[in-house]
Amino acid sequence: MNPQPIQTPTAPLPIGPYHQAIQAQGTFVFLSGQIPLNSQGQMVGDDITLQTRQVMENLGAVLKAAGCGWQQVVKTTIYLVDLGDFSAVNQVYGEYFSDGYAPARACVQVARLPKDARVEIDAIAILPSS
């Protein structure tokens, strides 16, 4: 199976040459990193909690468009401009996973993110069995 692009208008459109997600090998969905833009492409503000919530909502919209949910996410990577935001990001991030489930994850500090966002998160999910 050829990789299939996934796109939804309920998450911000890509700001470069990439798709919101790609479905590959029939079961894997690779979600591009999301920054805290609303669906109209506007930054939601400078507060790390607000930015993280918007990023998670964007990822959730792309997951839904792919036919997945949070329980199908197997790996995420969090990119932070300031690791001092780690606790606040963790608090919001944890609200999206339930019943003790959380995917594998990495978190790294970066010098800068697109549009001067403070957080970006990408994900890999597996489509649910039909």
Note the pLDDT of residue 16: 85
What is the tens place of the pLDDT at every residue in 108-122? 999 999 999 999 999
- Whether residue 129 has pLDDT greater than 70: yes
Which pLDDT value is given to residue 109?
98
pLDDT of residue 1: 61
H or E element in which residue 29 lies: strand 28-34
Percent of the residues in the chain that have a pLDDT greater than 90, as a whole number: 82
98 pLDDT more than 90? no
Report the percentage of the chain scoring pLDDT > 70. 98
- Report how far residue 119's alpha carbon sits from residue 40's, in angstroms, rounded to the nearest whole number: 18
pLDDT the model gives residue 62 = 97
Across the chain, mean pLDDT equals: 94
Nearest-5° Cα angle at 44, 119 to 123: 40
Domains defined for the chain, CATH in brackets: 4-126 (3.30.1330.40)
Q: How far is CA 43 from the centre of its chain?
A: 15
Q: Catalytic positions, please? A: 107
